[in-house]
Chains A and B, each alone.
Chain A
Amino acid sequence: MREILGDIRRWQRLGRRVALARVVDLEGSGPRLPGAAMAVADDGEVTGSVSGGCVEAAVVTEALEVLGKGDRRMVSFGYSDDEAFAVGLTCGGTVHLFIEPLDW
């Protein structure tokens, strides 16, 4: 969170709406620990990261949906060879994210 604070504050000053995605849990091997965060502005600008670049694009899509609908959701990404996951981590772990609008 510390490293994305500046970008989020800048977006807030510009009156943009922001969604925040945080890693809350990790099973097996994964590059980023719980607390890793990225934020997405309503115009699609992105700051921070929640993996080694494996799932960020899908997180942006989810985050923009969250901004559109105003809901909060858990999203999980697993090993990309697993049919249950369209997008996944290449390292074999599963990462659980909580995505919400920054309305608090």
Chain B
Amino acid sequence: MGGGDTQATPVFDRVGDLLDAEEPFALVTIIEGPGTGSKLVVRPTGVADPAFEGTLGDPGLDRVAIRDARGELAAGRSGVRHYGEHGEAREETVVVFVESFAVPPRMLVFGAVDFTGALVRVAKVLGYRVTVCDAREVFATSRRFPTADEVVVDWPHRLLERVGENLGERDAVCVLTHDDKFDVPAVISALDTQVGYIGVMGSRRTHANRLVRLREAGVDEAGLARLRSPLGLDIGARTPEETAVSIVAEIIALRTGRSTRALSDSDGPIHG
């Protein structure tokens, strides 16, 4: 970190390195009680490089804090917990803050079309790790999508065969190909994953035709009900950028379970 006068910050440097590498971890800090300011950097269960670093000043306290931090990290939650000085439950001598740094959510965008670039940019603003995938190598280039984390030249269903098992509730698949050849196998493969959002672009007519083809391919009603097709909220979007906003707004609303009315037309808590 530069000059000789600079204060060494080894824990913070480690935090920065893990953030740069997009590795999951939890940062545990005593915020009230003996040892205020003491820290632990905790990796998820099963990671041992090392499994944790630092100490809260007591082995018993470290043990329960590490256990609880892993639980919070797995749930993607950050918050305050109370313990006794040696980690006793139901005591409140020590207050710790567990800050979870989960892996960024992933978005897979299938189809290197006009709308793709705008969706990649908007998804990056929201913190997604974005992969663009299209089988046509003239279109799927990093030069066309400079903000994408990854541009893959392949059939979408083959990409999903490789990465599908890692997709979860927080992740999204957006099928923008609106071409039968690509989107039917892509949708079928996406339905085989636990991905939280599957959006498929297309006009009402494209959508109706696609439903027929998906049913012919054996997709059941429960599968079809998972699809957001046509994707996006009805905000009258016309440009690629407006469409991208309508898509990510739908993803957010689906995650939070909120109505998509204007706040000015509703009441109740805004942030709750």
Contact = CB atoms under 8 A, between A and B. Distances in A.
Interface in B3-55: 3, 5-7, 9-12, 15-16, 19-20, 29, 31-32, 36-37, 39
Given A5-B16, A72-B36, A104-B12, A91 B270 contact: yes
B272 interface: yes
A58 interface: no
Contacts of A102: 7, 9, 12
A35 interface: yes
Interface of B: 1-3, 5-7, 9-12, 15-16, 19-20, 29, 31-32, 36-37, 39, 78-80, 97, 99-101, 127, 269-272
B271 A24 contact: no
Contacts of A96: 80
Contacts, number: 75
B2 A15 contact: yes
Given A24-B31, A91-B271, A98-B29, A13 B19 contact: no
Interface of A: 1-2, 5, 8-9, 12-13, 15, 17, 22, 24-25, 29-31, 33-35, 72, 74, 91, 93, 96, 98, 100, 102-104
A29 B269 contact: yes
Nearest to A36: B78
Task: Pick the 6 closest A-B CB pairs, nearest first.
Answer: A34-B78, A24-B97, A35-B78, A98-B31, A104-B11, A29-B271
B6 A31 contact: no
A91 B272 CA distance: 11
Nearest to A30: B271
Contact of B100 (A9, A25, A35): A35
A22 B271 contact: no
Contact of A1 (B2, B31, B101): B101
